């Protein structure tokens, strides 16, 4: 899109600020990717699942975090545990199905039948006798830390993680009017993408690309209305104005349902975009909530699971299904537009002729994202 096209939309062409992007190797290097796993994904609080996905005792979901496999399971007391998916006997993976229910309310290894409680305690080890060299109490399954925020389950693989409230300080009370723990999953799409995980976070937090890539989105929320209201640490975000009164992000711009719970005032005309570094994108609308769960599969590939949350009353209303579909169709269209340019960027940054790019004044928030990555890795780049 040329300068004139931007000016027709009521803004000046973005001015180069002199800030530089990360070097291309940060999107392609296996060594840097492995360092990101160790220093970011294995240490930070990361999104894992919705609590509603494992509602009953014995329900479980398995997630992958780099080379680690974690069983998220609801125990008999109703608490959610995050157990490392590895038997204490000889390291066999305990659970291979992505989700289900442990009917016996125990977890048994298929290899030699070592058996654990839902809390991870070893209760059965055939032909093993306890003595100085072996005690069942020493074979409890390793556990990750768990925190439930508004129905979103986060885990930390660190032995002594930063308190969740410290890492996610900006979230505390931020979206309380949505009462997101009461919302339920209305739809889910899994996307497989050939790009680095950081490119998705960067794409999400700037709308410099919106006029050319997202014509429909730009009609519903003009990109010049974007405001960043928090850019500190692991939580970065802001909002855009919705042009249509009591409208929303749907194919026709009409709301997909009534306002969510206690949403009112200015929030009825805004859609929020918050990055929860490193693997979640949260988008509260007046009438629903969309979020992305990003799972790196290597330096150049990710799984991106997109979910739409609505109030249960809307989900159960048969007359509302077309409106829910309109919201899903809008964001599926927009997502695929984003994925295409992110994959093109992944290919382009591999070029030996690409060193570091330049950020425009419309992309200032991306500098904060880059700094969060560099801070976590302990890297410094030349000016």
Confidence of residue 7 (pLDDT cuts 50, 70, 90): very low
Q: What is the pLDDT of residues 180-239, one digit of tens each?
A: 999 999 999 999 999 999 999 999 988 888 888 898 888 898 877 778 776 667 999 899
Buried b / exposed e along 261-299 (16+ C-beta atoms within 10 A): eebeeebbbbbbbbbbbbbbbbbbbbbbbbbbbbbbeeb
pLDDT digits (tens, 9 = 90+) for 231-269: 667 999 899 999 999 999 999 999 999 999 999 999 999
What average pLDDT does the segment 365-372 reach? 89
| Claim: this prediction has a pTM higher than 0.85 | yes
Question: What confidence tier does 123 reach under pLDDT thresholds 50, 70, 90?
Answer: very high
Residue 359, both tokens:
């950020």
Question: What is the band of 28 on the pLDDT scale with cuts at 50, 70, 90?
Answer: very high
Domains of the chain listed by start with CATH number? 3-42+172-377 (3.90.380.10), 46-161 (2.102.10.10)
Q: Where are the beta strands (DSSP E) in the chain?
A: 16-20, 46-50, 59-65, 68-74, 80-84, 99-101, 106-108, 115-117, 122-124, 143-149, 152-156, 184-193, 227-232, 235-241, 270-276, 280-284, 289-298, 301-310, 358-360
The mean predicted confidence, pLDDT, of the chain is: 92
Residue 5's pLDDT band (cuts 50, 70, 90): very low
pLDDT tens per residue across span 315-331:
999 999 999 999 999 99
Q: What is the pLDDT of residues 42-99, one digit of tens each?
A: 999 999 999 999 999 999 999 999 999 999 999 999 999 999 999 999 999 999 999 9
């Amino acid at each position: 899109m040329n300068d004139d096209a931007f000016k027709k939309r009521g803004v000046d062409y973005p001015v180069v600020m002199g800030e530089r992007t990360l070097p291309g190797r940060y999107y392609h290097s296996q060594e840097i990717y492995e360092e990101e796993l160790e220093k970011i994904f294995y240490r930070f609080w990361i999104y894992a699942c919705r609590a509603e996905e494992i509602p009953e005792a014995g329900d479980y979901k398995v997630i992958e975090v780099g080379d680690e496999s974690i069983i998220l399971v609801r125990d008999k007391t109703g608490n959610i545990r995050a157990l490392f998916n590895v038997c204490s006997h000889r390291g066999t993976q305990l659970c291979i199905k992505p989700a289900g229910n442990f009917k016996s309310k125990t977890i048994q290894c298929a290899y030699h039948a070592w058996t654990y409680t839902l809390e991870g305690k070893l209760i059965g080890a055939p032909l093993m006798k306890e003595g100085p060299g072996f005690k069942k109490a020493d074979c409890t399954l390793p556990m990750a830390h768990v925190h439930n925020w508004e129905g979103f389950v986060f885990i930390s693989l660190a032995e002594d993680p930063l308190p969740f409230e410290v890492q996610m300080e900006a979230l505390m009370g931020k979206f309380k009017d949505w009462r997101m723990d009461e919302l339920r999953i209305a739809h889910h799409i899994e996307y497989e993408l050939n790009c680095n995980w950081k490119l998705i976070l960067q794409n999400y937090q700037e709308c410099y690309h919106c006029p050319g890539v997202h014509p429909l989105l730009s009609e519903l929320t003009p990109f010049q209305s974007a405001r960043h209201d928090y850019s500190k640490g692991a939580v970065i975000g802001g909002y855009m104005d919705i042009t249509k009164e009591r409208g929303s992000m749907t194919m026709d711009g009409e709301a997909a349902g009534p306002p969510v719970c206690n949403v009112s005032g200015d929030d009825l005309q805004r859609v929020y975009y918050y990055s929860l570094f490193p693997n979640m994108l949260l988008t509260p609308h007046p009438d629903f909530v969309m979020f992305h769960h990003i799972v790196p599969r290597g330096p150049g590939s990710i799984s991106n699971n997109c979910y739409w949350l609505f109030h249960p009353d809307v989900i159960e209303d048969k007359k509302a299904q077309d409106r829910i579909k309109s919201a899903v169709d809008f964001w599926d269209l927009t997502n695929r537009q984003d994925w295409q340019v992110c994959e093109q960027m992944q290919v382009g940054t591999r070029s030996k002729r690409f060193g570091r790019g330049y950020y425009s004044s419309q992309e200032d928030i991306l500098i904060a994202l880059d700094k969060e990555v560099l801070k976590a890795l302990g890297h410094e780049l030349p000016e």
